[in-house]
Amino acid sequence: MAILKIETLGAEVLRRRAHEIQPSGEDPELDRLIEDMFETMYDAHGIGLAAPQVGISRRLIVVHVNEEGEEPFALLNPRIVEAGKAKEKGEEGCLSIPNISAAVERPATVVVEGLDPKGNEVRIEAEGMLARCLQHEIDHLDGILFLDRLSPLKRNMLVKKYRKQES
As a whole number of angstroms, the distance between CA 30 and CA 159 comes to 33
| Secondary structure E strands in 11-140 | 48-50, 60-63, 73-83, 87-94, 97-107, 109-115, 121-127
Tell me which of 121, 125, 137, 166 is the catalytic residue: 137
DSSP track, 5-37:
PPP-TT-GGGGSPPBP----SS-HHHHHHHHHH
Q: Which residues contact 27 (CB under 8 A, 6 or more apart)?
A: 117
Asked if 137 is an active-site residue, the reply is yes
CB 159 within 8 A of CB 9: yes
Catalytic residue set: 137
